[in-house]
Every structure is written in structure tokens, then in C-alpha cells.
Amino acid sequence: MQIKTDSKALVHFNVLLKDGSAADSTRVDGKPVWFVLGDGSLTNSLELHLIGMQQGETKKFELAGSDIFGPENPDNIHFMDIDQFPADLKLEEGAIVAFEQMGGGSIPGMICGTQGHSVKVDFNHPLAGQEIILEVEILEVK
């Protein structure tokens, strides 16, 4: 069966950086994911690569990180007072910190630097600005 709009597909994927290093994979925990094409959970660019693939097919393609994780949004970069962080937390550039959300749960933010009492935190997806390679294996199509 071939993937088309409104298809539901069980997929294993590997997200690789341009240098070939692994950024994410469903194979690490052995749990593939279901995607429903056309439901808005995937970007149009990614869906275009998946449409036409068949059960059992594997494909490897390059994308901008924004084509999977959404575009970088300058409104997602915040400057926070250093006193809002635990005193024992090392605020090193590139560190990922979990921030509590008002409705419960948490959201990751990447520390971009500190200056005086200000900490620059980026809440964009860390791969949104990267060029990536996506390896996809279609396990099942409904």
C-alpha cells in the first residue's frame, strides 16, 4: 500500500546531522511512530517526501531542520534574570535546561550565553537551523 494524503503510516526514522552523527532515532528504544499525513502534525515539505512511499520501503533525503521542526522564531529567544536559575546550575553555552510550563509539563531551552545578570535562552528546536539527513523506513501503511 502506498502513502497518500490521509494515510496513517508506522515509521522508523533516523535524524542525522550533515556530518553523519545521529541526532535522534526511533530505533534507540525500538519504538516506531505513527504519522497521519494531512493532519497538520508534519510539515508540507516532509509530507511531500513521504507521499508515494510504500510499506517496506526505505528512503534517505536531506532537509532543512525547519522543514521538520518548524522555522526558527526570534520570539522564542528570551533573556531571563540569572536569579531565576538554581545557584548550582552551570549556565554553559549549549546546555539544555528544562523549564516548567504554567499548565504543567516542561519545555527545553538552550542556554546561548550570559552577560551580567542576564541569561539568553533559545526555546526554538535545537535542530531547526541545521541541515539534516532523514532516513525513513515505512513499516505499515493504513
Q: So what's the pLDDT on residue 71?
A: 85
Is residue 58 in some structural domain?
A: yes
Specify whether 33 is located in the same domain as 17: yes
Overall domain count for the chain: 2
pLDDT (tens digit per residue) in 80-135: 999 999 999 999 999 999 999 888 899 999 999 999 999 999 999 888 888 999 99
Helices marked H in the chain — which ranges? 44-50, 66-69
- Residue 83 φ then ψ, to 5°: -70, -15
What does each C-alpha distance from 120 to 91, 130, 139 come to in angstroms? Answer: 10, 20, 41
Verify that 65 and 83 share a domain, yes or no. Answer: no
pLDDT at 43: 87
Same domain for 63 and 80, yes or no, is: no
> Do 17 and 65 fall within a single domain?
yes
Residue 3 covered by a domain: no
In a domain, 1, yes or no: no
pLDDT of residue 102: 86
Question: Does 18 lie in the same domain as 58?
Answer: yes
Domain that holds residue 133: 8-71+127-141
Contacts of 59 (CB under 8 A, 6+ apart): 49, 53, 135, 136
